[in-house]
Homo-oligomer: A and B are copies of this chain.
Amino acid sequence: MAALKYSRQRESIKEFLAARTDHPTADTVYTNLRKTFPNISLGTVYRNLSLLSDMGEIIKISTGDGADRFDGRTAPHNHFVCRQCHRVIDLNMENIDSIMDVAGKNFAGSIDHYVVNFYGVCGDCITKS
């Protein structure tokens, strides 16, 4: 049980994510943090993203389309992935947690979590076409 110690880098990563609503990849976090920490390494970014995500202070999003993305907004919500511009957008939708009950009906295991990603074309891309 490691006693977590303060680190300016970790704090900065958390702040960085909290301040954006897009969903940056580890590499984007790295590139931006270099402005504050010119010597920070990708390894450190990955280590801290992983730590923060384990602690539930950020969310890791796997879209199945390129690198994982990270979200500083921890309140439960779902994501939309644009197939055209590859952006990941927060959805402001009614709670659908009840799908866990539906899924659990004929299932022997225990379900405690789910991840939904919606796919299609985002508003901006539709306008531009």
Chain A residues proximal to chain B, CB less than 8 Å: 60, 62-64, 68, 78, 80, 82, 89, 91-94, 96, 99-100, 102-103, 105-123, 125-126
Question: Across the interface, do B60 and A111 meet the contact criterion of CB distance under 8 Å?
Answer: no
A64 to chain B, nearest CB (A): 3
Q: Find chain B residues with CB under 8 A from A80 CB.
A: 103, 107, 109, 111
Q: Find chain B residues with CB under 8 A from A120 CB.
A: 109-113
Inter-chain CA distance A106–B80, complex, in Å, is 12
Question: Across the interface, do A113 and B118 meet the contact criterion of CB distance under 8 Å?
Answer: yes
**15 more A-B contacts (CB under 8 A) besides A92-B106, A93-B107, A108-B123?**
A62-B64, A80-B103, A89-B109, A94-B102, A94-B105, A100-B118, A108-B126, A110-B121, A111-B120, A112-B119, A113-B118, A113-B119, A114-B118, A115-B116, A116-B116
Question: Across the interface, do A114 and B117 meet the contact criterion of CB distance under 8 Å?
Answer: yes
Q: Find chain B residues with CB under 8 A from A89 CB.
A: 109
Of all chain B residues, which has the CB nearest A79?
A: B103
